[in-house]
Amino acid sequence: MVTQVEICEKQSSRTGEKYTKILFDNGLTAFIIHKNHTSAYATLAVNFGSCDTKYASADGKIKSFPPGTAHFLEHRMFETKEGDAMERYALFGGDANAYTAGDRTCYYYISSDMFYENLRVLIDHVTNAHITKKSVEKEKAVIIQEIKMYDDNPYWVVRYNMMKCLYGESPISEDPAGSVESVKNISREILEDCRRTVYNLHNMALCVCGNIETDSFIAQVNDLFSAAPEAEYWRVDDIPDAKIVSAYFQEHMDVSLPVYSVGIKLCAPSETEGTKEFAAVEIIMNLLFGKSAAFYSENYEAGIFERLSCGYQTMRKAFFAEIYGSARNPAVLFDKVKEHIKKVKAVGFDARDFETAKKSLYADTICEYDSVENIADTFVSYYFENDDMFDYPDIVANITLEYTEECLKRLFDCDNICLSVILPKKEEHS
């Protein structure tokens, strides 16, 4: 049995949202996000994702794991000596699943009843999974089939080609599932070594969201975890080069219209203002390329593109934005994107447009708190980046036009933009 060593609470003065943070003496950090909802959600998250392939010990020993290891391990963590954890969830009405992101692996469930019975299943299969050589070999075929399925998806392929233009052969640009070759090289021994290395309570977080009473939660968790040793290995992050690797990549597939992905490599997130920079980039991308922007309507009406969406992401030491969709001539659109960025860097944003984009982002941020799933998953992603989701509404509310324009000038370099294209096969030999 373990006992908690510290409890602290935080309530946002802006949103009224509240959470309790509990530090257990076995190394586990847990959070209760208090919501008066009928359903409750729990996620047991590991600070280990698909781009985390190298670990080092204090005495300089290095462990490297094949691409796809995090995703493969996630697949096998539902098998226990008592059987398939999904069947045990079903007995208690829990709707469970898991996912592997670039920087984390999350196991979760949502239930409207029998919350602690489901919590016992969650903690048991993540901490006591039973991995056999037979199950690993069987899983290889499943994952290889999954990889081949995504290899037929032009939007998936064009995105990871774009990532390779930005980051080369870095783990950041790898498909989370790995490659057919890397999956074939993953063994039970590799998975067990990886689990011992990174599935340590000091490297995990338990986050629950719902109408959860703190004392009852602590009492239950005390009975579900045993003491964990100190972590012996620490993640070694890949440090991307400042410049892109390639400005252009093309491939041919069975598509009727060319598919494109424009990648914008931004500077690594600031150690002190990374979250504020991310908010600025959200606003910048909306002002530059959002559906309400002049660029979007003018170029759509001119037939420059058929579809256009944009996004932005941080992943460990990587920070990038993306514009993607379909267009008859992606190269023309690519030139217009760069011209537009240069122009706005020179003249700045309209103050009224900025306030509209800022209010829109603030509204989207507040809406995140409407869903127990969204809150918990987003909260964990912020926590693993040493940030606090509850601070983000204040950051957005206080961001200024001047700071946003400064970020545009500093982060967006037109020499650090690439174009990835999927062309129809009929054009391959034309």
If DSSP states are collapsed to H, E and C, what string results for 72-125?
HHHHHCCEECCEEHHHHHHHCCCEEEEEECCCCEEEEEEECCCHHHHHHHHHHH
| Residue 242 within a domain | no
From 213, 235, 257, give the residue that closes a domain: 235
Write the CA distances from 21 to 28, 139, 207, integer angstroms.
11, 37, 9
11 and 135 co-located in one domain: yes
| Residue 240 within a domain | no
Cα–Cα dist 178/72, whole Å: 9
Q: Which domain holds residue 376?
A: 248-427
Q: How many CB atoms lie within 10 A of CB 164?
A: 20
From 212, 235, 258, give the residue that closes a domain: 235
- Which two three-digit tokens encode residue 226? 């045993």
Q: Are the C-beta atoms of 32 and 22 separated by less than 8 Å?
A: yes
CATH number of the CATH domain containing 373: 3.30.830.10
162 burial type by CB count under 10 A (0-12 exposed, 13-18 middle, 19+ buried): buried
| Residue 267 within a domain | yes
Cα–Cα dist 225/202, whole Å: 12
From 235, 257, 290, give the residue that closes a domain: 235
| Residue 388 within a domain | yes
| Residue 241 within a domain | no
Cα–Cα dist 101/251, whole Å: 25
Going by C-alpha positions, the residue among 167, 244, 166 that lies closest to residue 415 is: 244
272 and 420 co-located in one domain: yes
Write out residues in the chain with pLDDT < 70, as ranges: 1-4, 427-430
Write the CA distances from 259 to 255, 309, 384, integer angstroms.
8, 12, 34
Sign, CA dihedral 182-183-185-190, equals: positive
Cα–Cα dist 325/307, whole Å: 5
167 and 40 co-located in one domain: yes
pLDDT at 229: 77
Cα–Cα dist 100/67, whole Å: 12
CA 109 to chain centroid, in Å, comes to 18
- Which two three-digit tokens encode residue 118? 């489901």
CA 101 to chain centroid, in Å, comes to 5
86 and 198 co-located in one domain: yes
Q: Are the C-beta atoms of 396 and 362 separated by less than 8 Å?
A: yes
pLDDT at 3: 62
pLDDT at 302: 97
pLDDT at 241: 82
| Residue 243 within a domain | no
Cα–Cα dist 295/315, whole Å: 28
167 and 294 co-located in one domain: no
Write the CA distances from 27 to 33, 201, 202, 359, 387, integer angstroms.
20, 5, 5, 39, 19
3-class secondary-structure state, position 141: helix
254 and 205 co-located in one domain: no
- Radius of gyration, CA atoms only, the chain: 23
β-strands 29-34, 204-210: how paired? parallel
In the sheet with 248-253, reading across from the earlier edge strand, the strands are: 248-253, 417-424, 259-265, 318-326, 307-315
If DSSP states are collapsed to H, E and C, what string results for 332-394?
HHHHHHHHHHHHHHHHCCCHHHHHHHHHHHHHHHHHHHHCHHHHHHHHHHHHHCCCCHHHHHH
Write the CA distances from 243 to 269, 347, 417, integer angstroms.
15, 25, 9
229 and 289 co-located in one domain: no
φ/ψ region of 220 (left if φ > 0, alpha if ψ in -120 to 50, else beta) reads alpha
289 and 415 co-located in one domain: yes
| Residue 155 within a domain | yes
Count of domains for the chain: 2
In this structure, the dihedral spanned by the alpha carbons of residues 314, 317, 319 and 325, taken in order and rounded to 10 degrees, is -70
223 and 315 co-located in one domain: no
Q: Are the C-beta atoms of 156 and 146 separated by less than 8 Å?
A: no
- Which two three-digit tokens encode residue 122? 């969650």
